[in-house]
């Protein structure tokens, strides 16, 4: 299936831990994104990579570090998790400037 | 500050009825406006996308309108079905910084039989 996929779908962890979320797209897109959707359902851009180069880096704590090993993958590593990091994280991809296709989301719960 | 505001926050309608969702934005310079549908527990899926020069776009029972002068958009759902129950998100693309998207908070629509 052609799609944007994320793993894991659910992640429950303790405060202070380090965790990673993985994203892969097989749509041939050149741009990938990470969004955070908070409890009020607003989606906010965190990072965007175009051809493995960081092009959008919003005001996000440096505990969050994206890594793009190739155009089809964009992973998100989070250090020293805090309660406020609990949210749904969405990966998306597009051809630059065009329609974005979203993954199914990863629901992160920090206890 | 670039913002996108949607109303109402939530809406309950009976199956078969029509409804209209509103979106006001202050994003400038504007590139395009999109409406997404987000089912519970899923990622958003694009319904329509309109550029500055377009004032209406349809996708099946969904019709979006855009008034770039007043910076308003609406999404009209015709003959609602139970499967239309979802959040509908208005998204405006900012014509700079890699066409960054600014999301509204969404309108939650519940269609009852």
What percent of chain A clears pLDDT 90, i.e. is strictly above it? 71
A105 interfacial to chain B (CB closer than 8 Å): yes
Residues A72, A5, B75, B77, CA torsion sign: positive
Contact B98 A4 (CB under 8 A): no
Residues of A in contact with B42 (CB under 8 A): 104-105
Residue of B50, B92, B98, B104 best to disrupt the A interface, most CBs of A under 10 A: B98
Instruction: Give per-residue pLDDT as tens, A7-46.
Output: 999 999 999 999 999 999 999 999 999 999 988 778 899 9
Q: Is the pLDDT of residue A80 over 90?
A: yes
Q: Is the pLDDT of residue A54 over 90?
A: no
Residue A11 CA to residue B6 CA, distance in Å, equals 30
Structure tokens at A25: 């797209």
**Which pLDDT does position A1 carry in this prediction?**
62
Pairing, β A10-13 against β A106-110 = parallel
Residues A96, A100, A104, A107, CA torsion sign: positive
Instruction: Give per-residue pLDDT as tens, B52-86.
Output: 889 999 999 999 999 988 999 999 999 999 999 99
**Which pLDDT does position A76 carry in this prediction?**
96
Q: Is the peptide bond before A12 cis (omega within 30 degrees of 0)?
A: no
**Which pLDDT does position A12 carry in this prediction?**
97
**Which pLDDT does position A38 carry in this prediction?**
86
Contact B43 A97 (CB under 8 A): no
């Amino acid at each position: 299936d052609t799609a944007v996929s994320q793993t894991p779908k659910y992640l429950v962890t303790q405060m202070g831990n380090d965790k990673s979320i993985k994203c892969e797209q097989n749509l041939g897109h050149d741009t990938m994104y990470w969004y955070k959707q908070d409890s009020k359902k607003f989606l906010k851009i965190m990072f965007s990579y175009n051809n493995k180069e960081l092009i959008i880096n919003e005001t996000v704590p440096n505990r969050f570090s994206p890594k793009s090993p190739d155009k089809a993958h964009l992973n998100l590593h989070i250090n020293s998790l805090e309660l406020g990091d609990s949210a749904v994280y969405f990966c998306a991809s597009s051809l630059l400037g065009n329609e974005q296709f979203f993954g199914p989301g990863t629901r992160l719960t920090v206890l | 500050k670039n913002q996108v505001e949607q109303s109402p926050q939530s809406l309950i309608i009976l199956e078969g009825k029509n409804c209209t969702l509103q979106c006001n934005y202050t994003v400038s310079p504007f590139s395009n406006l999109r409406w997404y549908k987000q089912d519970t527990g899923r990622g958003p899926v694009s319904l329509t996308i309109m550029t500055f020069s377009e004032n209406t776009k349809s996708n099946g029972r969904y019709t979006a309108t855009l008034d770039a002068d007043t910076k308003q958009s609406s999404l009209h759902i015709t003959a609602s079905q139970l499967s239309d129950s979802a959040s509908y998100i208005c998204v405006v693309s900012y014509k700079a910084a890699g066409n960054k998207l600014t999301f509204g908070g969404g309108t939650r629509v519940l269609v009852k039989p």
